[in-house]
Chain A
C-alpha cells in the first residue's frame, strides 16, 4: 500500500524568506509524485510533478521539488516566498498499480507573514 506523510501541518514564514515543505512517501513500486496547491474555497491546482528523468523539477512560480529515492522524499522548496503563496499544499503519489488513484498527504498550511 502507498502512503504520503507531510511532516508539518503548518509552516509560518516571513515574506521573502526561504521555505521547505516536507513530503515523504511509502511505496513498494515505482511512483509518480505531485505537489498541488489549494487556495481557500477552491479546488487543487497542480504545482509540479515528477514522472521520470531529472530528479529536480520546477514550477513556473519559483517552487521546486527534488525526488530522492533513497530517502523516499519529495520536498517542496522556494528560495523567497510571497504573501500570495499563502495556501494549503498537498503532496500526492500515484503508481501504475493504482489505476491512477492519487494518494494525498494531510496537507501543509503555508502562512506567509509580512
Chain B
C-alpha cells in the first residue's frame, strides 16, 4: 500500500521550454503533497508544500512563478518548471502524506521515484 507514482521519470528538453511533472497517490488520498529538489550527492531540499484545493506554500528562496504547483485533486499534484534553463536541471522528488487530517504529524511521507530533469 501507500504507493506514490511520479511521471515522467526522466525528461530532457531545450532551454526555454516548460516541463510538467505529475505526482499521484495511487491507493490513498493525500491532502498534502510535498515537492523536493535534490542535487547530486546532496540531501533533499523542500521546495513547497502542496495543499489540495488551495495555494501551495513555498519555501524561502523558491520562485513560485518559476515552479508552478497545482493540487487539483486528492490524488494528483503537478509541478511545472516554467521556461526551464540549464540551472534548473536536477532530480525532483514528490511525496505524499497518507493521512488526510492535517493533525497527523506522525504519519510518514511516501515518496515517488523522482524525475530526472535535464535542460540542454
Interface residues of B in 73-120 (CB under 8 A from A): 91, 93, 95, 97, 102, 104-114, 116
Q: B12 → chain A, closest Cβ, in Å?
A: 14
A49–B98 Cα gap in the complex (Å)? 15
Which residue, A44, A45, A46, A96, has most C-beta atoms of chain B within 10 A? A44
Q: A90-B44, A105-B43, A107-B42 are in contact. Are A43 and B102 (CB under 8 A)?
A: no
- Chain B: which residue is nearest A88 at the CB level? B41
Other-chain contact of B106, A32, A42, A90 (Cβ < 8 Å)? A32
- Per DSSP, are chain B's interface residues mostly helix, strand or loop, or mixed? strand
Q: A43-B93, A99-B49 are in contact. Are A106 and B42 (CB under 8 A)?
A: yes
Q: A32-B106, A98-B105 are in contact. Are A43 and B111 (CB under 8 A)?
A: yes
Say yes or no for B25: interface residue by CB 8 A criterion: no
- Chain B: which residue is nearest A9 at the CB level? B41
Q: A32-B105, A95-B105 are in contact. Are A102 and B113 (CB under 8 A)?
A: no
Chain A residues with CB below 8 A from B105, complex form: 32, 94-96, 98-100
Chain A residues with CB below 8 A from B50, complex form: none
Contact A46 B108 (CB under 8 A): yes
Chain B residues with CB below 8 A from A45, complex form: 111
Q: A97 → chain B, closest Cβ, in Å?
A: 8
Which residue, A36, A43, A52, A100, has most C-beta atoms of chain B within 10 A? A43
Chain B residues with CB below 8 A from A46, complex form: 108, 110
A101–B113 Cα gap in the complex (Å)? 19
